[in-house]
Structure formats: structure tokens, C-alpha cells
Structure 1
Amino acid sequence: MKKLKERWGIESNIQLTIIFIVFAITGSTSAWLSRYACDWLGLTKTNLGLVYTPVRLILIFPIYQILLVLIGLLFGQFKFFWTFEKKMLRSMGLGFLFKA
């Protein structure tokens, strides 16, 4: 845990625990919401067949990104998650989204 705290620039175990809680809530919530997003878009296993699961996974990605920052904000960790989000998207080649 010490290496992780150093890598993320975290000083306390409480902050690390809060960050882990935010990751857990965000992952579960984005998976749950993706089901409703698919329903809203009219995407079902019946009309998509084997493509349904990959489509749902693709839908989870933007939902997760938005929720990560919002839930991080609710838990008082906006700065950490905003920085984390920018690093992650830059590593995926989407850094242009943050250029002014």
C-alpha cells in the first residue's frame, strides 16, 4: 500500500480507503446503469445477439468516466479523480479532450 500511496500522492490511509470505496461504487453503478442505458436505446440480447455484451461494455466506459469524477466529488476527492481521469484518457490517446 505504501507504493500505491506514493504513486498516487496520497498521505493517509483514510484517503486511500475513500478512493477504493469510490472505485467500488463507480464500477458497480456504471455496470448497473449500462443496463438501463441499453434499455433506453432499445438494445437487447434479442435484437443484437452476440454483439450485445460488447456494446454494453462500450457503453459502460463513458458512464464510468463521468461517474468516477462525480462520485469522487461527493466523497471530497475531486482533485484526485480529475487528475486520475486526465492521466487515464491521455494514456488511451484521448488527451486532446483536455486541451484548451
Structure 2
Amino acid sequence: MKILQQLKSRWGITSNWQVLVILIVFACTGFTALYARRFVFNLIGIIDTDPFWLKAVVWLVTILPLYNIFLLIYGALFGQFEFFWAFFKKMMSRMVPGKSGSGG
């Protein structure tokens, strides 16, 4: 149960139920991203024998943004949109130089 306490503290939440829902959202998002990758790669024509760098670039350009969209959609469906919107803004502030995590 120490892990639950650490997650609640890190995420700024108080309920074990909310931790469970957030973990379910992450799981659903991950599975959806896996299926989206398969679909997008087939659509573009990327196959197993293509070079890793090509697959990595295509993944970064297509699946990473889709993952964030799926995260917000599932967060909204599970009633945790505010949490995932704050999570998204924090992640973007770390990924995009010169952007702050605050605002809109």
C-alpha cells in the first residue's frame, strides 16, 4: 500500500479509487496506442524489415501525438479530464523548449 500513497502524493490526489481509475486510463491508452501503431504503420506501408530509425521517426511523428489525444479522451470518459489535462501540460512543458506548463 506504500505505492498507492506515493502515487497519491506524487499526483496530488487523495483517493485510492482515483489512483485505480488513473491507472486504468493509462492502460487503456497504451493498448489503444499499440493498435493505432499497427494501423498507422500498415497504412503507411512500414514493415518489420524497415530500418529502426524510420520506424522510430514515424512513431514519434504519428503515434506519440495520438497517445496524448487518447490519454485526454480516456481521461474525459473516465471523469479524470482535469488530471490528464494538467498531466499533458506538464509533459509538454518538459518536451517543448521555451514552453511553460502553466496557462490555458
Q: TM-score w.r.t. structure 2 length?
A: 0.79
Of 74-83 and 1-10, more deviation after overlay is shown by 1-10
> Structure 2 CA distance, aligned partners of 1:13 and 1:50?
40
CA distance in 1 between partners of 2:82 and 2:31 (Å): 22
- Structure 2: tracts of 5 or more residues without a match: none
Could you list the per-position Cα deviations for residues 32-74 of structure 1 after superposition, in whole angstroms to 9, with x for gaps in the alignment?
111101112222234x333354245423211111100001101
Quote the residue 2:56 is aligned against.
54
User: What are the residue-to-residue correspondences of 1:63-78 with 2, within 5 Å?
Assistant: 63-78=66-81
Alignment partner for residue 20 of structure 2, among 14, 17, 21?
17
> Deviation string for 1:69-97 (max 9, x for gaps)?
0011010100000000000110112637x
Matches within 5 A, 1:31-42: 31-42=34-45
Q: Is the 8 A contact 1:34 1:56 kept in 2?
A: no
State the one-letter code of the partner of 1:27: G
Q: Which runs of 4+ in 1 moved over 6 A?
A: none
Preserved CA contact (<8 Å) 2:46 2:55: no
Q: 1:88 aligns with which of 43, 68, 91?
A: 91
**Count, aligned residues:** 99
Gaps of 5+ in 1: none
1:27 maps onto 2:30 in alignment: yes
Give 1 or 2: higher helix fraction.
Answer: 1
**Identity among equivalent pairs (%):** 41
Measured in 2, the distance between the counterparts of 1:11 and 1:99 equals 24
Q: C-alpha root-mean-square deviation of aligned residues, in Å?
A: 2.4
Residue 31 of structure 1, CA deviation:
1.5
Partner of 1:44: 47
